[in-house]
Structure 1
């Protein structure tokens, strides 16, 4: 591990220790190994700390655990702390329920552009498949294979194209997809300067669009978002979202509306307050 990593992978988590263990295992398999991991932990209990300590004791990857006390959903606050703690000029954001294909970090780094951000996506696994996930399945990369997923109960659909290994096919699909390139927190990357220049995440934001808002400020500040949803591959473990509420959505929509209307490039509720 070099002293200056090529990338900092920021993984947000909250009380999903077994899933985080799987996610961390997926990063030990990366074709590019010169990166650090920053765990942005929004108040998990000691089980998560134990998983991270075990990983640190057996992996050559540098890992940092950035933790804050559980005060309800405060993901934006811990993400800002993780940004400050990072030691690379390039940041990759993802979640503790997203398994990364072995070329994930290499692809993000290979496609990066100055004054640009990469907008990835994820493939959502069916609920029933989670019971089949283990470190062997991840090591053999079976959870990224269409035939294995279908055999385990994944419905067949066009979305399985998100798992393509063809660079030509992925480029074409990235080009023709109607999905807008945005800051989507489970799979997005940018230069650290680009997000620091807009003061990071707005810490008033609750669940639902909190990452889109920082992306909109970055766009207002001249950063171009590029679609890579068929190139930077991760699969999402199924779970419910009890923290999704009408009140949180209304608050976030009001903040995003103001950001768009005023073409804001800075939030006073971000890293610097």
Structure 2
């Protein structure tokens, strides 16, 4: 569970998707290396989500923390800050609650941890028909290449991954997905975490990454290892995307490394 005395937390965001979250947990149970803790950042789900989380407390050797806030629309940045503040580990692997993990997901991440570095991983996409089968038959979570979109991302070839580690390192906007990131908790605290002025879908992850890079943290893009499978679901509303896009470019143009409304209010 610990590499060189580094402790690891899985941070999972969720909102009213208990069947998806159950699949996430099932894939965690198959990990070759377990995290020290799992922290669920819950943006206002009903009690069905709590039931799923509680059902795994005696199945996993690591502790599980459930951080819940009232449903007040899409407040992902706020629940992420609250959850990160509660993390007790040094290093955080951040996921969304609609993905499944390759059994060596955590093991692979452990091999690339470096000081003052954060990792942007990748994902392939599970077809709608296969997602429905996974939900209806959750005991069988095996996937094959025919269940997937973006099939090149289905293959785990860690000995080739290093060839891609610098890809997109000079730009923070491309290649960053909030459903698959890894970073040091202390690096996030220094930039004040996520900017809670971002409400609604869009640009909150890349704005955070922009500030993280401006603070001197280096980026590594991770391909062909730490595989992640994104379950199909309808897209979230893009109603806030233009407003959020402007805030991102304001951050980028001003070379900001800190936001005012962030994580420190919870620490």
Q: TM-score when scaled to structure 1?
A: 0.88
**How do residues 82-101 of structure 1 correspond to structure 2 at under 5 angstroms?**
82-101=83-102
Q: Select the residue among 181, 184, 191 that pairs with 2:184.
A: 191
Q: Select the residue among 140, 165, 169 that pairs with 1:137.
A: 140
**Which residue number in structure 1 is paired with residue 251 of structure 2?**
259
Is 2:169–2:219's contact at 8 Å kept on the other side of the alignment? no
Instruction: Note closer, same or farther for the CA distance 1:34–1:71 as it changes in structure 2 (3 Å cut).
Output: closer
Cα shift at 1:16:
0.3
Instruction: Note closer, same or farther for the CA distance 1:175–1:267 as it changes in structure 2 (3 Å cut).
Output: closer
CA distance in 1 between partners of 2:206 and 2:178 (Å): 8
**How do residues 1-273 of structure 1 correspond to structure 2 at under 5 angstroms?**
6-133=7-134, 134-138=137-141, 142-143=142-143, 145-146=144-145, 150=146, 154=148, 159-172=150-163, 182-205=175-198, 206-245=200-239, 248-273=240-265
CA distance in 2 between partners of 1:35 and 1:256 (Å): 33
Is 2:168–2:175's contact at 8 Å kept on the other side of the alignment? no
Is 2:10–2:93's contact at 8 Å kept on the other side of the alignment? yes
Deviations 1:92-120 (A, max 9, x none): 11110010111111111211111111110
Instruction: Note closer, same or farther for the CA distance 1:191–1:242 as it changes in structure 2 (3 Å cut).
Output: closer
Instruction: Note closer, same or farther for the CA distance 1:177–1:89 as it changes in structure 2 (3 Å cut).
Output: closer
More helix by share: 1
CA distance in 1 between partners of 2:33 and 2:261 (Å): 35
CA distance in 2 between partners of 1:19 and 1:253 (Å): 28
How many residues in Structure 1 have an aligned counterpart in Structure 2? Answer: 258
CA distance in 2 between partners of 1:107 and 1:86 (Å): 21
Unaligned residue ranges in structure 1 (runs of 5+): none
Is 2:43–2:75's contact at 8 Å kept on the other side of the alignment? yes
Instruction: Note closer, same or farther for the CA distance 1:76–1:177 as it changes in structure 2 (3 Å cut).
Output: closer
Aligned CA-pair RMSD: 2.2
CA distance in 1 between partners of 2:222 and 2:97 (Å): 20
Q: TM-score when scaled to structure 2?
A: 0.89
User: Is the partner of 1:161 in helix, strand or coil?
Assistant: helix
CA distance in 1 between partners of 2:255 and 2:57 (Å): 42
Is 2:167–2:221's contact at 8 Å kept on the other side of the alignment? no
Tell which deviates more after alignment, 178-187 or 233-242.
178-187
